[in-house]
């Protein structure tokens, strides 16, 4: 049997496991600030639920965002590390594509949007066709700039009155584990879409010129 481990930390910690393309376990920790602490225990919990050891996993799928820098980086780095320890390469997909696939399998409208909280009063989003295929690249903008289409995904309550919310509201990691082959590959670079909040300070400026000018 081929075991697939799926990891996504674009929003919550979400871990899925599938055997031969059939969902076997799903673990979600609904805390947007516990990625580093909760991810590996969730991976081990998913393996225990499926009755396998982590060393038995054959392939790894990972959501590449978009998502906040720190949490997203935890999931991507962990998936890359586990895959390389297993002697394989991880398979990255856009996290929004996972939700789009969920809705497509349930019967999505002809066109729709999947969005997620980007903080700073903005949303990450992408546009899709009914078959779950993405139109263009993921974007980040104010909620009132989204296309006037049905919207699925992790939408904060604050913005729901601005959008035509419908469809799945959370990412199912089991769908990532079972269906990553049906999604476009995301490559090696996560979808951060904007610079991280924390930056390296620049070189301190000397106060001597101002002091000399004041004399």
- The reported pLDDT for the residue numbered 75 is 97
Number of domains in the chain: 2
Q: Read off the CATH number of the domain in which 128 is found.
A: 3.30.420
Q: How far is CA 63 from CA 78, 149, 165, in A?
A: 11, 24, 22
- The reported pLDDT for the residue numbered 199 is 47
In the β-sheet with 164-165, what is the strand arrangement from edge to edge? Answer: 134-141, 122-129, 111-119, 150-154, 164-165
pLDDT tens, residue order, the chain (215 aa): 999 999 999 999 999 999 999 999 999 999 888 899 999 999 999 999 999 999 999 999 999 999 999 999 999 999 999 999 999 999 999 999 999 999 999 999 999 999 999 999 999 999 999 999 999 999 999 999 999 999 999 999 999 999 999 999 999 999 999 999 999 999 889 999 976 554 445 555 554 555 455 55
Check whether the bond before 66 is cis (ω within 30° of 0). Answer: yes
Instruction: Map 147-171 to HEC letters.
Output: CCCEEEEECCHHHHHHCEECCCCCC
Contact criterion met (CB below 8 Å) for 9 and 74: yes
pLDDT 10s digits, 124-175? 999 999 999 999 999 999 999 999 999 999 999 999 999 999 999 999 999 9
Residue 31 structural domain: 3-94
Give domain status of residue 196, yes or no: no
From 146, 165, 184, the end of a domain falls on: 165
| Same-domain pairing of 87 and 8 | yes
| Same-domain pairing of 50 and 12 | yes
């Amino acid at each position: 049997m081929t075991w697939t481990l799926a990891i996504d930390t674009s929003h919550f910690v979400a871990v899925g496991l599938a055997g031969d393309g059939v969902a076997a376990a799903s673990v979600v920790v609904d805390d947007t600030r516990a990625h580093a602490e909760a991810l590996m225990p969730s991976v081990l919990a998913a393996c225990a639920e499926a009755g396998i050891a982590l060393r038995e996993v054959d392939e790894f799928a990972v959501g590449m965002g978009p998502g906040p820098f720190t949490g997203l980086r935890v999931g991507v780095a962990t998936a890359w590390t586990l895959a390389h320890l297993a002697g394989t390469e991880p398979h990255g997909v856009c996290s929004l594509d996972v939700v789009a696939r969920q809705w497509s399998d349930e019967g999505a409208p002809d066109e729709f949007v999947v969005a997620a909280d980007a903080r700073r009063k903005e949303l990450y989003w992408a546009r899709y066709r009914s078959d779950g295929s993405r139109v263009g690249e993921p974007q980040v903008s104010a909620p009132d700039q989204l296309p006037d289409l049905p919207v699925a995904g992790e939408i904060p309550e604050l913005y729901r009155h601005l959008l035509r919310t419908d469809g799945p509201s959370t990412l199912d990691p089991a769908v990532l584990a079972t269906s990553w082959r049906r999604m476009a590959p995301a490559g090696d670079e996560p979808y951060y879409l904007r610079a991280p909040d924390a930056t390296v300070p620049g070189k301190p400026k000397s106060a001597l010129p101002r002091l000399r000018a004041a004399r």
